[in-house]
Structure 1
Amino acid sequence: MDRLDIFLEEVASVLGTEICSCARLQEGRSHQVYKISTEGGKSYSLRIPKTETATLIAKRGTALLTALKNGQPRLPVPLVIYESERFSILQFLEGEPLQSWNNVNLSTNRRKTLLAGFGKFLFRVWTAAVGPSVPTSVGCTYRTWLVEEVDKGLRRSLGNSAGWGDPIHFLHRRTMIRHIVPDHGNTMTALKHGDLNAWNVLVDKAGFTGVIDWDTAQLVPLAAAVQHPLFIADIPGWQNDDVPPEMIFDDDRTELERIIDRLAMSSPAPAAKQIPNLLRTSRERQFFEMSLRNKRINAEYTRIKLASSPINKRRREEEQRRHEDAEKSQPQALRQYLEACHSLSLAIQVVTDQSLTTQGDTTDPTGRLYPRRILPWHNYLTQQEDIWNLLSVDQPFYSDPVFPSRHQLDYVASLIRPITSETGLRHFERNTVENAVQKLVDEAYNDKQLRIRLGIQGSVTFESHTNNGSADQFCIYRRSNSQNVPALAIKYRG
């Protein structure tokens, strides 16, 4: 005998009749649900919880469902026949799950027909007195209740529950409550189904027939109960089955609001006059509330509502700074390095006020090396392009990040001072030109293939020979055979 047969024996004993048939209806996240039929021709729903947690949650929902049914026996919700820790037996409601609310599959007239019946049902639930077996008030205002709900979300984000995002977002929600919810001291309550998706709404050809699965039902402040059903609420992050993301239901919400308006005008219920306005203004509250209980909706709420908040703006700025600082500390590729070096060269500042500069006569060129002629370099651009083509073919040299970081060059830039003397000019050139040239040639020489293509026989170094009276610096070309060949003489003059 399998597990289901054992349950069916117990069910038959509870009902006092034989079970003729048993068919699985659906399997949700928390329960296995079956339709059972007896010899007397009656049908029931058998619900078997999967876990102890599901049993505890269902027990609370069943108590509220029983109170609701006792107060309104003709309301199309299932009557609770029997309940235990192992299973529950409920009245079977005729009809099929709506499954999907879709403008394509459901005509306008069909949707209006369904909303007419469903609207009457919702209004009766929102105005129902749940009976003496259940407390008639949660004992607080909607604003106070909402603060408690936010704190539950905060505790989830601080705990081990993954996917709830940054706790700071829940703290920010706390500050938003007073703007979203005016506190008028109203402690009126209503019953909230808790999961009004299309699979829990039953319909037939004539229209709406009932609502099932009351496990998550709660007694909440009136403003938390009076909201649109999930399948027409258009809450960002909520996924309706078989509904494309671009399909919205503004017209259906307006139709439901008109239905509720008419019902409220003729109702003597104490909450009736408040319900129409609460429904019209419910979307912001519903989005807020659902973001506290659904991870996808929480992510959308954070993106849409909290992204522009001052707290998030500061956090993004801090993250951006950390990201930029991390990038600046990384070695650079060739093009980025050359651009950074170019910005260093442009940072030169020459003091033109003669009273602030070194004084002296013009250097006598007698006995010194100096250019006799300056000739134009006509094919410079062509040769430069040829060199760049060679460099770009060598991908490691061109793209590998091996050159000094932006942080290192920023430090060099911080040392640049206005030039007032030849010594200052020498330091500027050393920091911004000579070191960069030496680093570039070193890296090119270390690349064997590139070294061959460019014909480089060694690296370069800049050495000072101020004692020879003819130049401040020599650019020394070091051949691989340890020979040193002077390649360029430099004289710094202010």
Structure 2
Amino acid sequence: MDRITSLEAIILPQARLLRPGTGPVTLSPGNSSQEGCSHNIFIVTLADSSHIIARVAKSHNFDSLERNGVDMLNHITSLRPELKVPKVLWHNLDSKQEQTPREFTIVLQDLIPGKPLGSWNELIPQSQQMCFLDSLARFLVELWSIPTSGTIETEVPALLYSQWLENMIDKAIRRCITGDSRWGTTRDYLVMRSLISYYASPHDHITEYGIAHGDMHALNIMVDERLELSGVVDWDWTFTAPLPAIVQFPWFLADVPGWHNEGTKPGETFHHSRDYLVQALRAAEMSANKSDRLTNLLASARERQIFQSAINCRDVHKAFVEEDRRFRGARGKDVRGELEAFLVIYPDLRDEDEVKLIMGSMQ
């Protein structure tokens, strides 16, 4: 039995239950531009001639990400059914692997109309740029205003932004000390730890959490022929965090050193697009009778975004430790205090050779 036939045997019986009609229910390969490194996309034609998509994971290694995306989409669509995100119609994540191992991990979702934005550059007519940024601002105001209570992460005690950053950096430090990290050094992350107060203290009075898409690049944003946003797809990397951590620019607008956007020329920057998006967000907040808190956070987001991205993105981290003025100024300082604070949380690592080396080298 070939792969398509195997998928049809699983998907088509479920698809027939979704909508009434007399037409054939079929499965066909989707647009390759909508596929990522972890999924294949198929188009399902339902009995009423409408279409949905089937996301088929390329490996069970992605099941935890798939579950993350499904749970968050269910949370979002239950609270904001009008928001332009795909509704989950069916999935097989709950099938008992230990009893009947499933061959594929499959999620059926609404088909978001339009085409991927693909890239953002100066060749896009200004009228279309404005149309897109206005629609993106409306989407972001709604997304960032969704309550996080009831999401999969509500069991974790809420953290201040500084605590959230410390937790993220400490995980990286632990990986470096134990040898589980493929890049980065313990010392550089300890320097980053020493800079947390600079980035976080202006925002630690904000205690609310919000929802981040987690992978908002141009291929995950769908647009119509006018370039108005028609939806945002691929929610596998979504997460909740303090608002200062999630109110950020999409990757293709952020100009983060070390991050490369497809379809842009070397040296091309988008500060004008960011400025416009901030003003569009302000208008969207006013239209929704909200305060300008999100606008103010976005206006100051780029520096935070670069720092956060340098924690977990290899190329951004490399650029940050080599080029960032504030980091380079702190690099020669004694980091033993940060290491001691880290060891209070992870005392099991005190006898590691890397820890002893840093403690000894600073004496």
Query: Which residue number in structure 1 is paired with residue 29 of structure 2?
Result: 23
The answer to whether structure 1 residue 168 and structure 2 residue 174 are counterparts is: no
Query: Which residue number in structure 2 is paired with residue 12 of structure 1?
Result: 12
TM-score of the two chains, using structure 2 as the length reference: 0.80
The number of aligned residues is 312
> Identical aligned pairs, as a percentage?
26
Counterpart selection for 1:99 from 118, 141, 160: 118
Q: Which letter does structure 1 place at the counterpart of 2:136?
A: F
Query: Which residue number in structure 2 is paired with residue 341 of structure 1?
Result: none
In 2: Cα distance, 1:129 partner to 1:57 partner: 21
The answer to whether structure 1 residue 220 and structure 2 residue 241 are counterparts is: yes
- Indicate the structure whose relative CO is greater, using CA pairs within 8 Å and at least 6 residues apart: 2
Query: Which residue number in structure 2 is paired with residue 332 of structure 1?
Result: none
In 2: Cα distance, 1:163 partner to 1:300 partner: 16
In 2: Cα distance, 1:134 partner to 1:60 partner: 8
Give matches, 1:398-437, under 5 Å: none
Counterpart selection for 1:48 from 49, 53, 56: 56
Unaligned runs of 5+ in 2: 18-23, 94-104, 336-363
The answer to whether structure 1 residue 63 and structure 2 residue 63 are counterparts is: no
Q: Which letter does structure 2 place at the counterpart of 1:220?
A: A
SS of equivalent residue, structure 1 residue 181: helix
Counterpart selection for 2:85 from 56, 69, 77: 77
Provide the alpha-carbon RMSD of the alignment. 2.1
Query: Which residue number in structure 1 is paired with residue 318 of structure 2?
Result: 299
Describe the superposition over 1:229-259 as per-residue Cα deviations: whole angstroms up to 9, x where unpaired.
1100000111100111210001100000001
Query: Which residue number in structure 2 is paired with residue 148 of structure 1?
Result: 167
Query: Which residue number in structure 1 is paired with residue 358 of structure 2?
Result: none
8 Å contact from structure 1 (residues 96, 203) kept in 2:
yes
SS of equivalent residue, structure 1 residue 190: strand
SS of equivalent residue, structure 1 residue 283: helix
Residues 1:19 and 1:161: Cα distance change in structure 2 (over 3 Å): farther
SS of equivalent residue, structure 2 residue 30: strand
CA shift, 1:38, in A, is 2.4
Q: Which moved more, 1:8-17 or 1:252-261?
A: 8-17
SS of equivalent residue, structure 1 residue 46: strand
Query: Which residue number in structure 2 is paired with residue 467 of structure 1?
Result: none
Residues 1:287 and 1:278: Cα distance change in structure 2 (over 3 Å): same
SS of equivalent residue, structure 1 residue 93: coil
In 2: Cα distance, 1:133 partner to 1:234 partner: 31
Q: Which letter does structure 2 place at the counterpart of 1:83?
A: H
In 2: Cα distance, 1:238 partner to 1:280 partner: 20
CA shift, 1:156, in A, is 3.0
In 2: Cα distance, 1:186 partner to 1:145 partner: 12
In 2: Cα distance, 1:208 partner to 1:219 partner: 23
In 2: Cα distance, 1:233 partner to 1:286 partner: 8
SS of equivalent residue, structure 1 residue 89: strand
Residues 1:161 and 1:135: Cα distance change in structure 2 (over 3 Å): closer
The answer to whether structure 1 residue 279 and structure 2 residue 298 are counterparts is: yes
The answer to whether structure 1 residue 118 and structure 2 residue 126 are counterparts is: no
In 2: Cα distance, 1:134 partner to 1:290 partner: 23
CA shift, 1:196, in A, is 0.4
**Which has the greater radius of gyration?**
1
In 1: Cα distance, 2:8 partner to 2:80 partner: 30
SS of equivalent residue, structure 2 residue 195: helix
Describe the superposition over 1:152-173 as per-residue Cα deviations: whole angstroms up to 9, x where unpaired.
2223333445542221110111
SS of equivalent residue, structure 1 residue 309: helix
Counterpart selection for 2:331 from 311, 315, 326: 311
CA shift, 1:308, in A, is 2.5
8 Å contact from structure 1 (residues 68, 129) kept in 2:
no
8 Å contact from structure 1 (residues 164, 298) kept in 2:
no
SS of equivalent residue, structure 1 residue 186: coil
In 1: Cα distance, 2:148 partner to 2:80 partner: 9
In 1: Cα distance, 2:198 partner to 2:233 partner: 35
8 Å contact from structure 1 (residues 68, 130) kept in 2:
no
Residues 1:267 and 1:38: Cα distance change in structure 2 (over 3 Å): closer
Give matches, 1:135-214, under 5 Å: 139-161=158-180, 163-182=182-201, 184-206=204-226, 207-214=228-235
Q: Which letter does structure 2 place at the counterpart of 1:194?
A: G
CA shift, 1:290, in A, is 0.8
Q: Which letter does structure 2 place at the counterpart of 1:203?
A: V
Residues 1:19 and 1:268: Cα distance change in structure 2 (over 3 Å): same
